[in-house]
Amino acid sequence: MAAQHLSSAEARVAAEHVARASYGRLIALLSASTGDVALAEDALASAFEQALVKWPGGGVPRNPEGWLLTVARNRQRDLWKSSFQRTSAPLDAAADSAYDAVSPLGAVDPDAIGDKRLELLFVCAHPAIEPGVRTPLMLQTVLGFDASRIAAAFAVPATAMAQRLVRAKQRIKNARIPFAVPDRHAMPERLPAVLEAIYGCYAIGFSDHGKDSGDLSGEAQYLAITLAALLDSEPEPWGLAALITLSLARTHASVHGFVPLDEQDTTLWDARLIVAGEQFLRRATSAGTPGRFQLEAAIQAVHCNRFRTAQTDWAALRTLYSALLVVAPSFGSRVALAAVMGRAESTAAGLAELEAMAATDKRTEASAVENFQPFHATRAELLDRAGRSAEAQAAFATAAALTGRPAVREYLLHRAADVRAEPDRFAP
């Protein structure tokens, strides 16, 4: 392919990503030396302010990142000392030596020091950090989002979000959570939380929370690719990058109301993103150790392949969902397997799978299936195909009542009305 022409919007996004990479890299570098993320944020904000004053007259420095780092480090040093003096006046000497011990002010070239964002991602998703604040913490420290924007995306009051972020950063500092990448031995128990937090960022992009939330799926892709590239040899981060990229490829097919995946117009899919996602997936699977995100990405890749072959390989999906259920059992994937069985085998097989699921669920305390929207939507679809109109209609209505997404609700109510309009095909 010839050199790609960037639209002005794409150029702006690219520029924003460069700025964002700088932000995360600088916060990671500054906080790694002291363990104090809030102090690093204040120091960097102050360096940006100085840049706005000095660069217009003196010109942009040849190494802007290095300039910002030097200014921020000096500021950090001043802030560190003054806060130490406020809290414990007789300990000046201790403050000096403690700061110098953890922050040698030698090299200021960020490239020479290396990228510390990976360490920062592991800090944000540390087991000692409450799971619900891990994604917001990543958005703030790695990407530079302000608390009010994060609060809007997560549909919580801005003050509450700000407090949770402040508290998490205090924990990092006070409990001394290390800025370190876990060694190979600890990686299996530490990596899933990082992946989960990035996946959470992607998932919130598809919820109907604040108006900014749509952008977050793109940010999740950026975080996943950053993590994958920094860890390089770990397969699951590449799997997550592939999953998010392939899902993003299809977002344009649903902009004007909800359209089920297998009915989407493939000409609205983004071929460039599909190809990129497939490359990430190949990179992941070359390691030969399958995992949850690789399987989910492979499922997306099978769906996306319809833009080439014009048909869906239901048998391949059945195999992949069965494998996913073994690796990471969930209601969602079991319902999806039932839907796929409804296509790959028969409508009756799909319905039987759902019934088996509901029967198992009844034996547990809280009946989760009852309130699980995808269960009812899938059941409605299968019942409709089986010609059981009355039941299908009721199931579509139940599913519609359970969804929080207006576009999905509209689609389901529309389907319920369609069933009503048709007579029972197999009724006597």
Partner 1 sequence: MRYTLLLHYPEGDVESIGAEAMAEGQRAFASYATALQQAGVLVSAEVLQPSGSTTTLSMPDGVLQVQDGPFADTKEQLGGTFVIDVENLDVAIGWGRQAPSIAWGAVEVRPGATYTVDGTWQPNT
Binding site for partner 1 (CB under 8 A): 88, 91, 94, 98, 126-128, 174-178, 180, 182
Give the Cα separation of 303 and 309 in Å (integer).
10
Nearer to partner 1, 6 or 128 (CB): 128
- Picking from 173, 181, 192, the residue whose alpha carbon sits closest to that of residue 114 is 181
Query: 137 or 317: whose CB is closer to partner 1?
Result: 137
Query: In the complex with partner 1, which residue's Cβ is closer, 94 or 107?
Result: 94
- Select 57 or 90, whichever has its Cβ closest to partner 1: 90
Q: Which is nearer to partner 1, 172 or 357 (CB)?
A: 172
CA angle 183, 186, 190 (to 5 degrees): 110
Report in angstroms how near the CB of residue 92 gets to partner 1 at its nearest: 12
> Which lies closer to partner 1 via its Cβ, residue 84 or residue 206?
84
Query: What is the smallest separation between the CB atom of 79 and partner 1, expressed in angstroms?
Result: 17
Q: Which is nearer to partner 1, 88 or 159 (CB)?
A: 88
What would the two tokens of residue 301 be? 């890749």
Shortest distance, CB of residue 244 to partner 1, whole angstroms? 28
Give me the helix-helix angle, 92-102 and 64-87, nearest 10°: 150
What is the nearest approach in angstroms of partner 1 to the Cβ of residue 94? 6
Within 13 Å, how many C-alpha atoms sit on residue 146's CB side? 6
Nearer to partner 1 among residue 102 and residue 271 (C-beta): 102
Between CA 159 and CA 165 the distance in angstroms is: 10
State the minimum distance, in angstroms, from the CB of residue 95 to partner 1: 9
State in angstroms the smallest separation of the CB of 307 from partner 1.
Answer: 45
Look-up of token digits 């995306």: 153
Closer CB to partner 1, 88 or 360, in the complex: 88
CB of 177 to partner 1, least distance (A): 5
- Among residues 52 and 101, whose Cβ is nearest to partner 1? 101
